[in-house]
Amino acid sequence: MSDVILEIRDVETYYGKIHALRGISFSVEAGEIVTLLGANGAGKSTTLRTISGLNRAKAGSISFMGEEITTKSPHEIVSMGLIHVPEGRRIFKGMTIKENLELGSFTLKDESERRRRMEHVYELFPVLHERRQRDAALLSGGEQQMLAMGRALMTDTKLLLLDEPSMGLAPFMVQGIMKIIKRLNAEGVTILLVEQNAKAALKLADYGYVLETGEIVVKGKAGKLQQDESIVKAYLGE
């Protein structure tokens, strides 16, 4: 029997009168990398924001590890181990890299566990350790993405929502970020990935869903989606 960690059923989300998500349903199994693909405005980021509680679903249900979270606050959802790294990184400028990471561990009570997680982040991203006392505002775009991901890993992360982690990055930096995503998954973190870079996302993922105007129009194993030229041309812009 499959071990479903996240289940979305018939979710509807609005921005005012704009119908952003139109009854979407999908699931993520523990240990998977699942990717959401589609053009700008398709509803990918809205899906992640609705899951993490930043947007409230008007209808439908969302469950995480078997527990209904549709009406829970973002704080409650984070404390369960569902962590969202939003588009644009959202680091705290004017604070050091180390202080940014420490803010990510606010749900941890055990100081030794906090130190262990900090060491793990520094091992994943050595540049953050080298510059840990610097203002986070001085980091490059790729380094800021590393910091945003590192901050997310400072708590007991069971499911990581990543929104456009490669946006605006140089190709060599994109490769590095994708390698880290693959490694995190190998370490046991389940990942729901939103990406404009469909080729890179499908290469990493186990399963994919393609959104168009708030609806899931195509779904399937990532390898199969990648090989279907009609899907690539119609929905993925490549």
| Residue 161's CATH number | 3.40.50.300
Q: What is the Cα gyration radius of the chain?
A: 17
How confident is the model over 56-110, as pLDDT tens digits? 999 999 999 999 999 999 999 999 999 999 887 688 889 999 999 999 888 777 8
DSSP H or E segment with residue 221: strand 215-221
Average pLDDT value for residue range 32-60 = 95
Q: What is the mean pLDDT of the chain?
A: 91
Task: Give residue 3's pLDDT band: very low, low, confident or very high (50, 70, 90).
Answer: very high
Pair 163, 145: CB distance under 8 Å: no
Residue 50 domain boundaries: 4-236
In this structure, how many other beta carbons lie within 10 angstroms of the beta carbon of residue 213?
A: 14
What is the model's pLDDT at position 197? Answer: 85
Residue with the larger pLDDT of the pair 229 and 212 = 212
Judged by DSSP in three states, 143 sits in helix
Average pLDDT value for residue range 130-141 = 92
What is the model's pLDDT at position 2? Answer: 62
Task: Give residue 230's pLDDT band: very low, low, confident or very high (50, 70, 90).
Answer: confident
Q: Judging by beta carbons within 10 Å of its beta carbon (0-12, 13-18, 19+), is residue 225 exposed, middle or buried? A: buried
What is the model's pLDDT at position 238? Answer: 54
Average pLDDT value for residue range 24-37 = 97
pLDDT over threshold 80, residue 223? yes
What is the model's pLDDT at position 237? Answer: 64
CA dihedral angle for residue 222, residue 89, residue 183, residue 78, rounded to 10 degrees: -90
Query: Please, which residues have CB within 8 angstroms of residue 130's CB and are 6 or more apart in sequence?
Result: none
pLDDT over threshold 50, residue 1? no
Residue with the larger pLDDT of the pair 230 and 217 = 217
Q: What is the total count of domains within the chain? A: 1
How confident is the model over 137-165, as pLDDT tens digits? 999 888 898 999 999 999 889 999 999 99
Pair 204, 173: CB distance under 8 Å: no
Distance in angstroms (rounded) separating the CA atoms of residues 237 and 198? 9
Q: In what order do the strands lie in the sheet with 190-194?
A: 82-85, 159-163, 190-194, 33-37, 207-212, 215-221
DSSP H or E segment with residue 102: helix 97-103
